[in-house]
Amino acid sequence: MRIGVLTAGGDAPGLNAAIRSIGIMAFRDGHELIGIENGWAGLANDFAGRDLTPNDLSGIVGQGGTLLGTARYDLDSPEGGRLHVLKAIDEHLDVLVAIGGDGTQRISYWLAECGAPVVGVPKTLDNDLIGTDYCIGFDTAVSIVAESLDRLYTTAASHHRVMIVETMGRATGWVAAMGGLAGGADLIVIPEFPMTMDEIIAHLVKRRTSRSAFSIVVVAEGINLGTVGGVESSEITSGGIGGVRLATRGVGHFVASKIDEYGGFEVRTTVLGHLQRGGSPTAYDRIWATRVGACAYDAVVAGKYGVIPLVRGNDVTLEPLSTVATGQRHVPRELYELCSAFF
Ligand code: F6P
């Protein structure tokens, strides 16, 4: 069997562990593994697949990034991109395993609906894929945020400063909330539970008078600027985040500038950016990437297509791709309330 594998969208630590998991099992059973380069672009244009060997998979379980390369590729432009992908799968592969987040899995679902043999694997450090408790890359991102807060804590305390830390996460606050919880943040501002600038400043004033002269405030990149006294881009106010690169909105620096304007605080900003995506995956990411990869492989050899392995509690279950094709997973109120108990 010619099993194709691709990684699409933003990279995330743990992708190589998933590719390795699928590949080692495929080689064990005498199948071929075709690595598609640069995500959907490798199928929508000239076929960019190469036969992987066991050597390619050796020593990569702990390597970040993706050995296949990835891309944010808009399959609807140029027109016909999706049809090229369908054709390429038909001509070159017996089955395709697509590792990616919500955008990728929406394409996987569409392909499966068209009758293509496709199996998904959940990846996104944003952790916002609906229907699964875990996505490849999330644990590493959270660990990096937590470690950064540990480091910022000592300098914040020494200088009695307010430290604003901007995290990734797109329209959801998983990375900010869980990273902030693990790193002892004094305030976490996320899209799901908006705070006004007055509320943020009131919290800092209260902390300064009753508890501590310094504060660490985690701000998710996807918060609405309007709620903190700024002007939001029309793409975001109209309900979507489209192709807007959220980091360019600079919410961390904006919140810091407003605190500065209020006066009485010395403020510094750290934008963690792509540090949250780079480097080695945590053991947790390696283990779960291996588990979801293995489950995807089992589906492939069983001829179960149009499915994706999802994590529910401590188990991996195979679900239809339709489960992840619409909607988004948000931070629930009870989890945010737990974070708030430590503010
Ligand atoms: O979706 C993952 C993610 O890291 C988001 O958290 C972030 O907004 C985006 O990708 C950044 O994308 P790029 O690497 O294309 O700048």
pLDDT of the residue at 236: 83
Does the structure show a pLDDT above 90 at 255?
Answer: yes
Q: Are residues 43 and 165 in the same domain?
A: no
* Tokens coding 309: 């392995």
- Centre of ligand 1 to C-alpha 10, Å, is 6
Q: Of 278, 309, 334, which marks where a domain is finished?
A: 278
Instruction: Average the pLDDT over 159-172 and give the result.
Output: 97
Question: Can you tell me which atom of ligand 1 is nearest the CA of 168?
Answer: 6
With a 6 Å cutoff on the Cβ, whether 169 touches ligand 1 is: yes
CA dihedral 254, 255, 256, 262 (to 10 degrees): 110
- Whether residues 272 and 144 fall in one domain: yes
Please, which residues have CB within 8 angstroms of residue 250's CB and are 6 or more apart in sequence? 271
Q: What is the pLDDT of residue 243?
A: 77
Query: What per-residue confidence (pLDDT) applies to 103?
Result: 94
Percent of the chain with pLDDT over 90: 93
Q: Is the pLDDT of residue 182 over 80?
A: yes
Q: What is the CATH number of the domain that holds 213?
A: 3.40.50.460
Ligand 1 mean position, distance from CA 168 (Å) = 7
Is the CB of 123 within 6 Å of ligand 1?
no
Helix (H/G/I), strand (E/B), else coil: 240: coil
Which of these is catalytic: 102, 126, 139, 285?
126
In which element (H, E) is residue 217 found? strand 215-220
pLDDT of residue 211: 83
Specify the number of domains making up the chain: 2
Residue of 138, 245, 276 best suited for mutating to test ligand 1, as the one with most atoms within 8 Å of CB? 245
Atom 13 of ligand 1, residue of closest alpha carbon: 10
Q: Over range 79-102, report the average pLDDT.
A: 95
**131 close to ligand 1 (CB < 6 Angstrom):** no
- For 299, phi then psi, to 5°, come to -65, -40
Residues in CB range of 263: below 8 A, 6 or more apart: none
Range of the domain at 316: 2-137+281-325
In this predicted structure, the answer to whether residue 235 has a pLDDT above a threshold of 90 is: no
274 in the same domain as 147: yes
Residues 36-60, mean pLDDT to the nearest whole number: 97
Q: Which two tokens stand for residue 257?
A: 């500038």
Mean pLDDT on 63-75? 95
Pocket test for ligand 1, best of 38, 105, 126, 135 (most atoms within 8 A of CB): 126
Residues 127, 8 share a domain: yes
Q: Is 90 a catalytic residue?
A: no
Q: What is the mean pLDDT of residues 146-173?
A: 97
Quick one: pLDDT at residue 208? 94
pLDDT tops 90 at residue 16:
yes
pLDDT at residue 229 is higher than 80: yes
Q: Is 230 a residue whose pLDDT tops 90?
A: yes
| Distance between CA atoms of residues 269 and 258, nearest Å | 12
- Asked if pLDDT for residue 78 goes beyond 80, the answer is no
Q: Is residue 336 a part of any domain in this protein?
A: no
Share of the chain above pLDDT 70, in %: 99
Ligand 1 centroid–CA 331 distance in Å is 18
- pLDDT at position 233 over 90: no
Q: Is the pLDDT score of 59 beyond 90? A: yes
Question: Would the CB of 208 count as within 6 Å of ligand 1?
Answer: no
Query: What pLDDT shows up at residue 228?
Result: 95
Compute how many other C-beta atoms are within 10 angstroms of the C-beta atom of residue 299.
21
Q: Is the CB of 125 under 6 A from ligand 1?
A: yes
Same structural domain for residues 208 and 287?
no
**Apex 103 CA angle, 98 and 105, nearest 5:** 40
pLDDT mean over 49-73: 97
Tell me: do 173 and 262 sit in the same domain: yes
The number of the ligand 1 atom at minimal distance from the alpha carbon of 72 is 15
Q: Mean pLDDT over all residues of the chain?
A: 96
165 and 178 in one domain? yes
Are 194 and 320 in a shared domain?
A: no
Please indicate, yes or no, whether residues 98 and 157 belong to a single structural domain of this protein.
no
Q: Are 230 and 292 in the same domain?
A: no
